[in-house]
Chain A
Amino acid sequence: MTSPIAVRIKQVSKKFRRGELHGSLRDFVPNLVSGFVRKGTDALRAEEFWALRDIDLEIEEGEAFGIIGDNGAGKSTLLKLLSRVISPTRGFIQVKGRLSALIEIGAGFHPDLTGRENVYLNGAILGMSRAEITAKLDEIVSFAGIQEFIETPVKRYSSGMYARLGFAVAAHVNPEVLIVDEALSVGDWSFQRKCETRMKSLVSSGATVVFVSHNLGAVSSLCARCALLDRGTLLKIGQTEEVVEAYLNGQMRRQSVPATDIAIEEVKIMRDTGSGSGAHFREGESATVRVTLASRIESRNLAVDLYLKDERTYEIAEIYLNMVAGVALAVEPSSRTVLEFRIHLNLCPGSYDVGCVVRNPDLQVEYDRRFPVASMFISGSRSARGAANLFPQLIKNEIQR
């Protein structure tokens, strides 16, 4: 099943300079002359760094492709290269078809203009003709849900309304290639839902979507394939679930253990069945959590609390391990204590971060607190959303007259 390639990125590197560019006119004039000559060389001058290095990527037509990575990994640079706002230092990028970039929602909005005027302005910026915009105006406005404010200057809009209108315009461009950066992080649940549906319908109508987000749940629900960027290099390309798991594992490894009397050395979430470690689960599965504490002192009355936060950093669960155990937990001096217990992941699809606190409730001492100490990623049927999964099952569906 090889579809034609919509986006081809070949050996692309991008060099940036730290600090101020062009300190003075004296630098500028020689740069004007030598600028093009020097371009394409490998040598890094002082203050220069590679924002992206030797990226090779092919995205098929009609595919939804995700790009994930930490801040500063080069995701936005890659998107800017794709949308031709900046040009690569080396390498070559090919994009087939009409491209629409949703890099910053409402980037072209002018605060003093009304919603309607901004729809026309932003539509033109995104490459729509006036006739096209007029034809789609009602659809755009109702998608954004701001019918009664369409004649109000957007400076009076709430940030949510602003963002919704921005997305609504961009989503109606009908591009062949849509580039989306963090678009789903705006608006409430129902609007995010709408955006996802819109993007899915774009994909099913044959458009290619390149999606960058920190919201791993949104990435995995939309994209079958994914790329992981790490400090300018492409670490992994593959099925979204594998890439997300590699990302979460990599993130945890980078944290170091601080020196306290009782330190949380590791919190690991493991698969109950099958292959040992893994940060990726299906909804409703059970998992084993292993907490390893390293203590220098003795304690007879220790409380270990775990808490779970979702992507919007709402705390959705707290677990008190001493309550689970029914007794106060104890540690010996200069030793390691390992606690293992089982949890049921009654969670909706998405990614979750785990935090851990070790404290003595009597002495009111907090020995260690780490967040995020572990992360996991839940995939599933998407029959439920929100904080908890109530595992709905259909037991009756009949028409009563």
Chain B
Amino acid sequence: MSCHCRVKKVHTSGSSNIESRASMLQNLADLFRARELLEAIVLRDVKVRYKQSVMGLLWAILMPVIIVAAGALARLGMSIFANKPFDQSQFASVVVKSVPWAFFVSSIRFATSSLTGNYNLVTKLAFPKEIFPIAAVISCGFDFLIASAVLIIVGAALRVPLGWAVLWVPVALLLLLSLCVSAGLVLSAMNLFFRDVRHIVEVLLTFAIFFSPVFFDVDMFGRWKSYLLLNPVAPLLEAIRSSLVSRSTPDLFWLGYSATIALCALPLSYLFFKSQESKFAEYI
């Protein structure tokens, strides 16, 4: 890939104009070298969240539990309206989608303000700044792991049957992670330049649940189904549902659609972030 991201102008004695461009490969090497720093920042973010808090680790499951409760209620309403029984599989569908959704929302929210929240480090020290949004996403991933662990334990206790389709879950989760990191990179950089980006993101995330199949399944929408699946998160949530609840292979066409977006978004957002990075310290 011949993408050049960080453009550093180097002039010698005013006249000649030599440009040294750091290649994407170089940037990734820098990022790799800074992995221990990434680790330290993730650790800090996780520790700080649980320090001096009443709930401690319960925080990690609070958000999914509330989403599940709201979702179950909405589903119950729908089934009463449709005159259909509210069965276990409907509840399970809400549960397995709520946990990744909680991760999606919190990681984007946290990543968006990650650069401005680390004002001191952004303006005082030089290291790959993408560490901050990435660390924000990973530290939310920690909460996700706790919530998932709880889910797995409960599932095992209830002897919920699993099929081979469960192997699609990590695929969907990795694609979701990629979407979160991409969004985090772009939004954190934008929020550095314009502080209201955070509020816009907040509003979008609040209402995004109505546009994403968390409380409902896309199948309920008949011929409108495809429009709902255009939201790149939707096929991922549906894939998780079908592989865990229906125990069947997800819709590979739509999963492929999400994968294409997620895998294109990652390098593009990284390029965007790196092209803006040199201005961060001055414009923050």
* Residues in A lying within 8 Å of B, measured CB to CB: 10-11, 16, 21-22, 25, 28, 35-36, 39-40, 80, 83-88, 90-92, 101, 103-104, 107-108, 110, 112-113, 117, 120-121, 123-127, 129-130, 153
A85-B126, A125-B37, A125-B40 as given contacts; A11 in contact with B14, CB under 8 Å:
yes
Let me know if B36 and A130 touch, CB within 8 A: yes
Known contacts A80-B281, A85-B124, A107-B121: A120-B11 contact under CB 8 Å: no
The docked-state distance in angstroms from the alpha carbon of A121 to that of B36 is: 10
A110 and B125 form a contact (CB under 8 A): no
Q: Find chain B residues with CB under 8 A from A130 CB.
A: 36, 39-40
Q: Report if B2 contacts A (CB, 8 A).
A: no
A28–B194 alpha-carbon span in the complex (Å): 10
Per-residue A-contact encoding for B1-28, CB less than 8 Å = 1, 0 else: 0000001111111100100000000000
Query: Are A108 and B9 within 8 A (Cβ)?
Result: no
Binds A, one of B47-55, B107-115, B159-167, B204-212: B47-55
- Asked if A112 contacts B9 (CB within 8 A), the reply is no
Q: Cβ of B125 and Cβ of A10 under 8 Å apart?
A: no
Interchain CB contact under 8 A, A10 and B12:
yes
Whole-angstrom distance between the Cβ of B124 and the nearest chain A Cβ: 4
Question: Which of A28, A124, A126 counts the most B-chain CB atoms under 10 A from its CB?
Answer: A124
* Cβ contact within 8 Å between A92 and B12: yes
Chain A residues with Cβ under 8 A from B142's Cβ? none
A16 / chain B contacts, CB cutoff of 8 Å: 282
Q: Flag whether B81 is at the interface (Cβ < 8 A).
A: no
**Closest CB in chain A relative to B70 CB, distance in Å:** 31
Asked if A36 and B7 sit within 8 Å, CB to CB, the answer is yes
Q: Chain B nearest CB: distance from A221 CB in Å?
A: 26
Contact, CB under 8 Å: B37 / A124: yes
- Determine the chain B residues whose CB is within 8 A of the CB of A22 once the complex forms: 193-194, 283
**Set of chain B residues within 8 Å of A103, measured between Cβ atoms:** 124-125
Distance between A90 CB and nearest chain B CB, rounded to angstroms: 5
Tell me the nearest residue of chain B to A13, going by C-beta: B11
Residue of A nearest to B119 (CB): A107
Tell me the complex Cα distance, A68–B92, Å.
68
Residue B120, interface by CB 8 Å: yes
- Contact with A25, one of B12, B17, B194, B283 (Cβ below 8 angstroms): B194
For residue B120, which residues in chain A have a CB less than 8 angstroms away from its CB? 104, 107-108
User: Which B residues contact A (CB, under 8 angstroms)?
Assistant: 7-14, 17, 36-37, 39-41, 43-44, 47-48, 51-52, 120-121, 123-127, 193-194, 278-279, 281-283
Which of chain A's residues have a CB closer than 8 A to the CB of B9?
36, 39-40, 87-88, 90
Q: Show 24 A/B contacts (Cβ-Cβ < 8 Å), sorted by A.
A: A11-B11, A11-B12, A16-B282, A22-B283, A25-B194, A40-B9, A83-B125, A85-B124, A86-B278, A87-B9, A90-B11, A92-B10, A92-B11, A103-B125, A104-B124, A107-B121, A107-B125, A110-B48, A112-B47, A112-B48, A113-B44, A121-B40, A124-B39, A127-B37
B125 x A113 contact (CB < 8 A): no
Give 9 closest A-B pairs by Cβ, nearest first: A124-B40, A84-B126, A107-B124, A124-B37, A107-B120, A85-B281, A86-B281, A112-B51, A92-B10
How far is B16's CA from A10's CA once the two chains are assembled, in angstroms? 13
Contact of A11 among B13, B43, B123 (CB under 8 A): B13
**Chain A residues within 8 Å of B43, by CB:** 117, 120-121
Taken together as a complex, chains A and B put the C-alpha atoms of A39 and B51 apart, in Å, by 45
Which chain A residue lies CB-closest to B13?
Answer: A11
Residues of chain A contacted by B51 (CB below 8 angstroms) = 112-113, 153
Taking the closest CB of chain B, its distance from the CB of A95, in whole angstroms, is: 10
Does A40 lie within 8 Å of B11, measured CB to CB?
yes
CB-CB under 8 A from B194, the residues of chain A are: 22, 25, 28
Q: A110-B48, A124-B36 are in contact. Are A101 and B124 (CB under 8 A)?
A: yes
- Within the complex, what minimum Cβ distance (angstroms) separates A329 from chain B? 53
* Residues of chain A lying within 8 A (CB to CB) of residue B7: 36
- CA distance in complex: A22, B279 (Å): 12
Complex: how many Å from CA A126 to CA B37? Answer: 9
Q: Kindly list chain B residues whose C-beta atoms are within 8 Å of the C-beta of A153.
A: 51
Q: What distance in Å separates the Cβ of A83 from its nearest Cβ neighbour in chain B?
A: 5
How long is the Cα–Cα vector from A169 to B32 in the complex, in angstroms?
23
The residues of A that contact B8 with a CB separation of less than 8 Å are 87
Alpha-carbon distance between A352 and B50 when the two chains are bound, in angstroms: 50
Task: Tell me whether A83 and B10 are in contact (CB under 8 A).
Answer: no
How long is the Cα–Cα vector from A107 to B281 in the complex, in angstroms? 14
Q: Chain A residues near B14: list those with CB within 8 A.
A: 11, 90
Measured between C-beta atoms, what is the minimum distance from B47 to chain A in Å? 6
A82 → B minimal CB distance (Å):
10
By the criterion CB–CB under 8 Å, are B281 and A120 in contact? Answer: no
